Structure 1
Amino acid sequence: MNTFSKLTCIILTLFIFCTAGCGNDKNNAGSEKVFRYGTTAYGPAMQNAGTNPHDSYCGWSTVRYGIGETLFRLTDDRQIEPWLAESFTFTDDVTAQIKIRDDLTFSNGKKVTADAVKTCFADLLAQHDRAAYDLKIASMDSDGQVLTLHLKEPVPALVNYLTDPYSAVIDMDAGTDNRICVGTGPYRAVSVTDKEVVLEKNGAYWGTEKPKLDKIIVTSVPDGAALSAALQSGEFDAAQGLPYTVLPTYRKNADYTLSTAQTSRVYEAAMNFRSPALQDPFVRKAVAGAIDKKQFAQVLLNGNGRPALGPYPDPEAAEETASPEADSITAGRKLLEQAGYTETDSDGYVLKNGRRLRLRWLTYPSRQELPVLAEYAQSRLKDMGIDVVINSTDAYKDFLKRDDFDIYANAIVTVPTGDREYYISSCLVDKGPYNAGHYENAEIDALADELHGTFGAAARNDLAARIVRLALEDNAYVYVAFLNMTLVMKSTVTGFQAHGTDFYEITPALDIRLI
């Protein structure tokens, strides 16, 4: 959909909602405090339609919506601090001892003990492949509030992995029926569907600051234009995932407040190394050089992103992971000639052995600007002589399974746990669970193994930088731009703040002033 079509859709949707009752404020009725939140980040397409953290990415919903909490959490500057835990120590390289706070209760009133955490983690390891891969736990012991983890091998980043939402502590004895789990957070889920999560206040919340709202309704609205219309019509009190094109309108309106944070969520495009055309390094380099990252971030993202040199957003990593040579369209055509594409057809597309160079670009629409990136890449690559066919679909996983794509563009948080190994083990190693392009590099695999057993931040960061440089030299991925996260809310909403880690949203501080 082009920019004009999107704008027309937004205006039309606004008209429909407003004529149906624009300005209605559902919080006017009675004294019950109800917070209605619309988001593009919840639903089956995002692999988080539920609240059981042991199921795919549902842990992000568990933590985002104030249902569950992890033993440790990240501060705004991605530093680790205790949350449900009181302390952590390695007694040796393969043994970790964690002391659980003694004042914790689940939302059903049951005390949180080390044994309860052990039972939760046992199910996590059995159900969640990524957690088992990350944590490398061989066995666990519990004694009162002390949990001891015996590891199969040294895991220096263990405490980082224990900030991942998959490790949110839930009461296994309570079960997970109807996708509802019992956590320790300020709110408890009472209804969960593919489209909605309904929460109620946890009146027995253990934290010093108590929850202020009686009820919260989180609603999935995949279409950004419809989400914006619903926010303006009073259907929602706040929204996440609005198109960047509409944010200036809200910034100028005193009825709304915005909270923005820079994140490590990057738009990346993975090359499929099983694609005959992309097995040629000249073609990969030409594709990578075609995208003007600065233009995309400043113009098409309306300044709501930063150009990406690599997978990490911090200045040190940007300097370490120097960008491959920036190729112009003309230079890209020369690279294609080196790959054997020496002729063009009547439409200007390059040919090799009489066949047009055509690439299938797979992406999904629930991240509002991913289709924009696809259209931008299509235009740039057309100028280079490459025919790009876009497939933007929520069923993208089906195409990934069938290898029915050449380039897969997605949005991924690269340092959600505060440690760089997360991205490397997920996307760059041969058997990484999110290595969609089947990228293989024996040197990277060896360095990743070394990184996994290396203690000390400086040494780990140096190894990570070496690994990323190798991936950049291979043009395994195109890292386009890091995204800002922006929450837009009515001016009556307080305590709702965007966080750079992307999975802390609903907290006890959240409140809404009744009108």
Structure 2
Amino acid sequence: MKKPFSLIMAACLAVSLLAGCGSNTPAQAPAADSGSNASWQEVSADRKVMTIGDTTFNSENWEETVDPHRTYNGWACIRYGIGETLVHYTDTMELEPWLAKSWENDGNCTWTITLQDNVTFSNGRKMDGNAVKQCLEHLLANHDRAPSDTKITDIKADGQVLTIITSEPNPALMNYLGDPYGCIIDVDASDFDKGIVIGTGPYVVKDMVTDDHLTLTKNENYWNGTPRIDELTIRTLSDGDTLSAALQAGDIDAAYGMAYEAYPNFENDDYQFSSIQTSRAFFASMNMTSPIIQDAAVRKAIAMGINKEGFVKTMLDGHGVPANGAFPNGFSNFGGEKVTTENYDPEGAKEVLEKAGWVDNDGDGIREKDGVKLSIRWLTYPSRQELPLLAESVQATLKEIGMDVDINCTANRREFLADMNSWDIYASALVTAPSGDPQYFFTTSCMPGMSYNFGAYENKEVSAMIEELSTEFDTAKRGELAVRLQQAILDDNAFVFCSFLQMNMISKSNVTGYTAHASDYYQVTADLDIN
């Protein structure tokens, strides 16, 4: 980690970006010789404009567009107020009605969903059963995860009532339909080639340039209140130092993903914080195809050699929560406090490695076995500010037990993930319970062949429990299965859960309605305002 060089580069980027940004300019001021008597203040006085800097709206995070039917692009669709889902999550991650007024299940494979009566898409089309049916069918035909998540085999529409049939009992169906990919859009009016969709939310896409910006205007047909901002720009600022400089300079009005070290710059009356703990976990996935990771002693020593409390206290300045399992402590009935994991124990880790034959024969501080150095290739990415810091912390503590960590922190992580021979551990950030239900994490990350099972983890007993979880309706039994599943993957040391995000969104003091939510979804709502 060459911090001086990175800081210089960040400063240069900030200067160039801020110089050309002009993000608070809603329209060009009249030229001096234009003949217009309107002043700049008069031109802009009747319009409210706002700019939010965001580190995550980029292709690196699989958020290239706002099309919810494409990989993880639905996060941008729902975050920025373009799309809405049938159900909404409270900050305790309970389901509540949103575009759906009510729903019920027959105890087996049939769900009946009654839609709200007064919802229109931003183009004025009524959101009825046929429109939602068309949307869900397009989702199932195009999305990579939705078919296996929802298990929907048939949809019927009758006025404002949908009847959904699943291939097998799916107790988490409504939870999955609250996922960002479940945003209800007008399929006929959306431009899927450009990744721009027509939703029911308070804002409409005006302009979008991937990895640069998204410009939105208010939805004049919004069904649930009056949006207060006339024009809103989401500006991609993936570098934390640049984001901080932009907010201090007044080129943006609010920020998502601010670096912790920059917080003191905003702890005054000119700014405000909105904070909440989330289930976004920062964790390491073991590459189970890597010969060195296949050694159970190495995996165990890694788990024992990572100082989670030290990472949160020192590297995150206390802005986070150390993790035990896949879910935060106190999270419903399957929180991490219900499982046991390896504690930070460097001396114990050394003993584990010694017994397994990993010793430092040449005295260079790094252990060897059968002529192979104990060197771990750690793959991660920079857009989540915690991840480079985690890599730096792990590199230091694992060196203490005789393990070398070679860090590859790259925005191009997809290329390396595709080559299983190029990395040993992948550290990422994932909301493990985005629907308030434990099933999501296990199906996406622990089942063979699934989208987030990057390390090719496979355990037949775990797979069997996931299958059981997927058809269990009883809430208490689902919680028990989730605890058993967490314990099984922790016993395998297939994952090391390091911390959970304490999310902080920062805005100027004249901004209202910019509120952090536990689901990490609803960033832009009709209540967002600037004075």
Which TM class, normalised by the smaller chain length? Answer: over 0.9
Task: Pick one of 452, 459, 466 that aligns with 1:434.
Answer: 452
Displacement of 1:23 in angstroms is 12
Task: Pick one of 194, 200, 206 that aligns with 1:184.
Answer: 200
Q: For 2:423 and 2:281, how far apart are their aligned partners in 1?
A: 20
Q: Which residue is 1:132 aligned to?
A: 147
Contact 2:23 2:51 in 1 (8 A): no
Q: Which residue is 2:31 aligned to?
A: none
Q: Which residue is 2:121 aligned to?
A: 106
Task: Pick one of 224, 241, 246 that aligns with 2:262.
Answer: 246
Task: Pick one of 182, 185, 191 that aligns with 1:170.
Answer: 185
> Does 1:400 pair with 2:413?
no
Displacement of 1:327 in angstroms is 4.8
Task: Pick one of 119, 138, 141 that aligns with 1:123.
Answer: 138
Displacement of 1:342 in angstroms is 2.5
Q: For 2:361 and 2:284, how far apart are their aligned partners in 1?
A: 26
Task: Pick one of 277, 288, 292 that aligns with 1:262.
Answer: 277
SS in 1 for 2:429: strand
> Which residue identity does 2:196 align to in structure 1?
I
Task: Pick one of 284, 308, 313 that aligns with 2:328.
Answer: 313
Displacement of 1:346 in angstroms is 3.7
- C-alpha change, 1:158 and 1:491, in structure 2 (3 Å) is same
> Which residue identity does 2:481 align to in structure 1?
L
Q: For 1:24 and 1:143, how far apart are their aligned partners in 2?
A: 46
Displacement of 1:9 in angstroms is 6.1
- C-alpha change, 1:48 and 1:16, in structure 2 (3 Å) is closer
C-alpha distance after superposition, 1:436-467 (max 9, x if no partner): 11111111101111110101211101001001
Q: Which residue is 2:378 aligned to?
A: 361
Q: Which residue is 1:477 aligned to?
A: 495
C-alpha distance after superposition, 1:292-345 (max 9, x if no partner): 111111111111100000110132522211223x25222212111222213333
SS in 2 for 1:260: strand
Q: For 1:509 and 1:70, how far apart are their aligned partners in 2?
A: 18
Q: For 1:22 and 1:60, how far apart are their aligned partners in 2?
A: 25
Q: Which residue is 1:336 aligned to?
A: 353
C-alpha distance after superposition, 1:359-411 (max 9, x if no partner): 11000011112111111111111111111111111111111111121000000
Contact 1:161 1:417 in 2 (8 A): yes
> Which residue identity does 2:346 align to in structure 1?
I
SS in 1 for 2:194: helix
SS in 2 for 1:269: strand
Displacement of 1:49 in angstroms is 1.5
Superposition pairs of residues 417-428 of structure 1, within 5 angstroms: 417-428=435-446
Task: Pick one of 136, 141, 156 that aligns with 2:171.
Answer: 156
Contact 2:83 2:184 in 1 (8 A): yes
> Does 1:144 pair with 2:162?
no
SS in 2 for 1:129: coil
Contact 1:22 1:232 in 2 (8 A): no
Displacement of 1:13 in angstroms is 6.7
> Does 1:41 pair with 2:56?
yes
Q: For 2:2 and 2:282, how far apart are their aligned partners in 1?
A: 19
- C-alpha change, 1:397 and 1:25, in structure 2 (3 Å) is closer
> Does 1:197 pair with 2:214?
yes
Displacement of 1:260 in angstroms is 1.0
Q: For 2:296 and 2:207, how far apart are their aligned partners in 1?
A: 50
Q: For 2:502 and 2:457, how far apart are their aligned partners in 1?
A: 28
SS in 1 for 2:275: strand
Q: Which residue is 1:451 aligned to?
A: 469
> Which residue identity does 1:483 align to in structure 2?
L
SS in 2 for 1:286: helix
> Which residue identity does 1:67 align to in structure 2?
I
Contact 1:6 1:225 in 2 (8 A): no
- Unmatched runs of 5 consecutive residues or more in structure 1: none
> Which residue identity does 1:364 align to in structure 2?
Y
Of residues 300-309 and 340-349 in structure 1, the stretch that sits farther from structure 2 once superposed is 340-349
Aligned length: 509
Q: Which residue is 2:366 aligned to?
A: 349
Contact 1:9 1:225 in 2 (8 A): no
TM (normalized to structure 2)? 0.92
> Which residue identity does 1:413 align to in structure 2?
V
Q: Which residue is 2:319 aligned to?
A: 304
TM (normalized to structure 1)? 0.95
> Which residue identity does 2:373 align to in structure 1?
R
> Does 1:74 pair with 2:89?
yes
Displacement of 1:486 in angstroms is 1.1
Q: Which residue is 1:206 aligned to?
A: 223
Q: For 1:178 and 1:167, how far apart are their aligned partners in 2?
A: 19
Give me the CA root mean square deviation: 1.9
Q: For 2:173 and 2:67, how far apart are their aligned partners in 1?
A: 21
Contact 1:71 1:169 in 2 (8 A): yes
SS in 2 for 1:480: strand
Displacement of 1:48 in angstroms is 1.0
- Unmatched runs of 5 consecutive residues or more in structure 2: 27-39
Q: For 1:494 and 1:5, how far apart are their aligned partners in 2?
A: 37
C-alpha distance after superposition, 1:221-277 (max 9, x if no partner): 1111011111111110111111111112211x2111111111100100001110101
Q: Which residue is 1:278 aligned to?
A: 293
> Which residue identity does 2:409 align to in structure 1?
S
- C-alpha change, 1:24 and 1:106, in structure 2 (3 Å) is closer
Task: Pick one of 246, 250, 253 that aligns with 1:237.
Answer: 253
Displacement of 1:414 in angstroms is 0.5
> Which residue identity does 1:510 align to in structure 2?
L
